[in-house]
Structure formats: C-alpha cells, structure tokens
A and B are shown apart, each in its own frame.
Chain A
Amino acid sequence: MLDVNINSMSFRSSEGAALEVLRDLNFSCAQNSFTSIVGPSGCGKTTTLRCILGLETAFDGAIKTAGESDHLHKISAVFQEPRLLPWRTVEQNVRLALKAVDEAELNDLFAELGLTEHRDFYPTELSLGLARRAGIARAFAVKPSVLILDEPFVSLDDETASRLRKLLMQVWAARSCTALMVTHNLLEAIELSDRILFFSGSPSRVVSEYEIAVDRKNRNRRAIEQIREDIYATGAASPME
C-alpha cells in the first residue's frame, strides 16, 4: 500500500522564480499491485518518483506506505540510467545494497535474470540491457515492499525491451511488492499494469485512471491494442498523448 498526497511541490530557479510542478497530486497504490504513470514529457512524473524515494523533500504533503510514516524503510528503485557503480562488479553492486545477504535468493535472482555468468563483470563491460537487468536484480534483492521504476525500458531496442518486460514480470510475480512505474509508452503500461494513472501537464495531478481488467496472461498484442482503443474511447487519455 502506497499513499501519495502532495498538495504542492515547486522548484526554485537560481534567479528565485518558483515553478510549481505538482499540485493536489493524490493517489494510492494497492498492496502488491502494479501501477503505471503516463503523462506528457516534463509533467513531473519523475519528480513524483523522486518525492516518493525521499530524494526531494521540499514539498507540502505526505507520503506513506502501509500506514507507516517512515515510508523509505522498505523502498527500492530501478533507475532510468542503471546507476550501477562502475568500479564494482555486478555482484558487488547488488551486495552493497543488502544489509543481510540471502545467498539462495541472490542465486535465484541472478539465474532468473540471466545474469549468472555476468556476476563478476564490471558494468562498463555490459550492454545497456544487461546493466538494466543488474539494476533490477539489485532492486529486488533488498526485498522491497514498494518498488519504484523510472522508465526502466527506455532506449532499448524493441526486442530487448520486450524480453526485459517479461523478465521483470516473472521476477515481480514471484516476489510481489507494490510497484509504481513511470513510462512514456502506453502500450508498455498496458502490458504490465493493473492500473494506469494519467498525469496532466505542469503543475501536474492525476486527471484520469484506468483499471485493466484483462488478466496479464491474456495480454497479447491484439488484446493490448484493444485496451488502448478502450482507453481512448473512455476518454481516459487521448491519442495525442
């Protein structure tokens, strides 16, 4: 369970002018659900994630997980740039995030993500797709209750992105945590999510939301396109976005 209530969040430019990026942004994500945020570029999607991760604190409002006020306790993230320490191997990067290491779980994670042979590689020796997988391994290894994903499939070729989405779904389904993902790609959001939140332009808030009833197993290409048509038909989002 993740509750986000941000009344207002502004950035101040170096000249002192304030720009309000979020206003009356309220939403919550059910326990172990997968929610996506879709919206125009620069609308504050990433800012919202940064607030949830505790990287931005200058906002008026509150963010809670499962009623706990210290929501940072069990949170984890997959960043857009994988943010692996280049001077540490894949395995060291993952272990550094862990307080207590569950060796069996770590082996499983590496195996599921196809990283077993890459454990001793440095991130600079990996393709972007593999580096993202290492980032996903790290995010799940800490056994989070809330997982934040900031465009985890951007700038990958279609085939790699599609394979990575399937891997993410497998790993997530086996572990279950509350996932919140930002994406530009509506089809991707439909493929993965239980629910999609549509953000307005800046200052942004949730303008509409769409629950996906179709079971994830049955979301093939045709089904996904049909859902997209339905989203447009209900007016939750327009094809321009």
Chain B
Amino acid sequence: MVRIAGVRLPAWLISVGGLLLMWAVFAWFAQSRSLPSPLQVASAIVTEVRSGELFFHMGATLARVAAAFIVAMAIGSAIGILLGRSRKLNHFFDPWVIFFLNIPALVIIVLSYIWFGLNEVAAIGAVALNKIPNVIVTIREGAKSLEPQFAEMAKVFRFSKWQVMRHVVLPQLQPFFAAATRSGISLIWKIVLVVELLGRSNGVGFQIHLYFQLFDVATILAYTLVFVVVMLAVEYLLLQPLENYSRRWRAGHA
C-alpha cells in the first residue's frame, strides 16, 4: 500500500497508473498516428468489441494456444520423463533435443506450412513443435532428480507401474510441470500469433497483420493489450489456484 495525498492505494495500481500516464504524456508530445494515446486505444477496443471481431479472433487464438499447449505438454512430458529416467536414451537423443531447441520458430512454421499445407493441424503442430523441446528439457531435469528412496519404498510395497507414475513420479515432477507451464503459455501465445500472421485467416495474429497493413497502431495495441489481460487472468485465476492446490501438502512447513 502506498499513501498519496492521504489516500491509501495498492502499489500495483500506482505502478500501472504510472505506466499509463507515461504513455499518455509521450503520446501527447508525439501527436502521431504511430503512437496513439491510451484513450485512442481504449476506443479501438470498444469498436472491436462492438463489431464482435475481438471475441471472434480472440477465441480462435485462445483455442490454438490451448490445443498447442496440451499437445506440447503431453508429448514433451512423456519424452522428458523417458530421457530423465534412462541414461542411454538420453545420451542418444540429447543431440536431437538440442537441435530442435535451436531451430528458429519461424523456420518450423514455414516448413510446416510448406509440408502440410496452410491448415489448422500444420499451424498447431508447428507451435507445439516449437515448445516441445523446452518441455522436454524442464521435465527431464525433474525426472533426473527423483528421490530413489520413494522408488525403493514403492518397490518393496509392490506398487503397480500406474501407482508409481501417479503417486510417486508425477507429484515429484509437479514443480517442473509448473515451470514448464509458466514459460510454456507465454512462449506459445507469441508463436501462435506468428503462425496466424503467416498462414491463417483469423486470430489475433491475423488481425494484427491486417491492421499493420492499414497502419492502424491503435487497433494493433488494442488486440495486444486485451490478449495480455486475458493471459494475466489465466495466470491468476487458473494457474496459481491450481498450483496452490497441488502444493497443499506443504502447508505443514509453511
């Protein structure tokens, strides 16, 4: 809490307000179409909401983010656990992981469109493929550091493979899943925009491309801001409550 002129305000409000104010001041001095003021951006948002365009394109982008995220997490986690548990496999496939980790996102997207056509599967596949190596690397670290004493306990008490995975392995990987999710969602939505810009006819990326050609910076910023707000909501309303729930057993130590 910060006190300004006798009124107590939360620090984040001051921080965001300060940023908006700075933006407004710069825009006022610039008086240029290439730097619209916060009010102009707000009115662009209202226009896009009224026309229904915003929800339509936002929905398309969110659906792609969700699909690519699920595919990338599922495949990346499975490979990550496998490589983390087997020294031989890891030794063999490590160059592949490094190779894919270092291919530029743009190259994967372009090749994917060339090989598989300008369709939804190619788009989502390209985004997932960009993210999978990151998930592998994160989950692999977790799988390497599993506690052998729990695995031994599970062996002595004859846990089934499924029980070992569900009750022994996955809970130990939880912090690594959380890390992969965090970095994953922010990376994925940025790549989804590129995919849409290059080869889709809807979505936030498509709209930004459109308004770039019209040189309408206010609407470009309108889409960007709304999407960032949506991603913040996902973080605070979905990811953090989920993480708190999965960490509830640590309460005794807190």
Shortest distance between the CB of B118 and any CB in chain A (Å): 45
CB–CB B252/A79 < 8 A: no
- Tell me the complex Cα distance, A53–B253, Å: 32
Shortest distance between the CB of A109 and any CB in chain B (Å): 15
- Tell me the complex Cα distance, A53–B155, Å: 9
Residues of A within 8 A of B158 (CB): 72, 99
With known contacts A85-B168, A87-B171, A96-B167, A122–B153 Cβ distance under 8 A: no
CB–CB A53/B159 < 8 A: no
CB–CB A75/B156 < 8 A: yes
CB–CB B252/A125 < 8 A: yes
With known contacts A85-B171, A96-B167, A53–B251 Cβ distance under 8 A: no
CB–CB A96/B253 < 8 A: no
B163 at the interface (CB under 8 A from A): yes
- Tell me the complex Cα distance, A124–B157, Å: 21
Chain A, residues 89-132, CB within 8 Å of chain B (1/0): the string is 00000001101000000000000000000000010110000000
The residue in chain A whose Cβ has the minimal distance to the Cβ of B153 is: A83
- Range class of the A interface residue count: 20 to 34
CB–CB A138/B157 < 8 A: yes
CB–CB B249/A96 < 8 A: no
Chain A, residues 56-86, CB within 8 Å of chain B (1/0): the string is 0000000000000000100111010101011
State the majority secondary structure of interface residues on B: helix
CB–CB A55/B155 < 8 A: yes
Pairs of residues from A and B, 7 with the lowest C-beta to C-beta distance, nearest first: A125-B252, A124-B252, A97-B157, A87-B171, A83-B153, A122-B249, A87-B249
A184 at the interface (CB under 8 A from B): no
Residues of A within 8 A of B93 (CB): none
The residue in chain A whose Cβ has the minimal distance to the Cβ of B157 is: A97
Per the 8 Å Cβ criterion, residues 25-67 of B in contact with A are none
Residues of B within 8 A of A87 (CB): 171, 174, 249
21 residue pairs A–B, Cβ–Cβ below 8 Å? A53-B156, A54-B156, A55-B152, A55-B155, A55-B156, A76-B156, A79-B149, A83-B149, A85-B150, A85-B153, A85-B167, A85-B171, A86-B250, A87-B171, A88-B171, A88-B249, A96-B167, A99-B158, A124-B250, A124-B253, A125-B251
- Tell me the complex Cα distance, A53–B249, Å: 29
The residue in chain B whose Cβ has the minimal distance to the Cβ of A141 is: B157
CB–CB B167/A122 < 8 A: no
In the complex, besides A83-B149, A85-B167, 6 extra interface pairs with C-beta distance below 8 angstroms are A76-B157, A77-B156, A96-B159, A122-B251, A124-B249, A124-B250
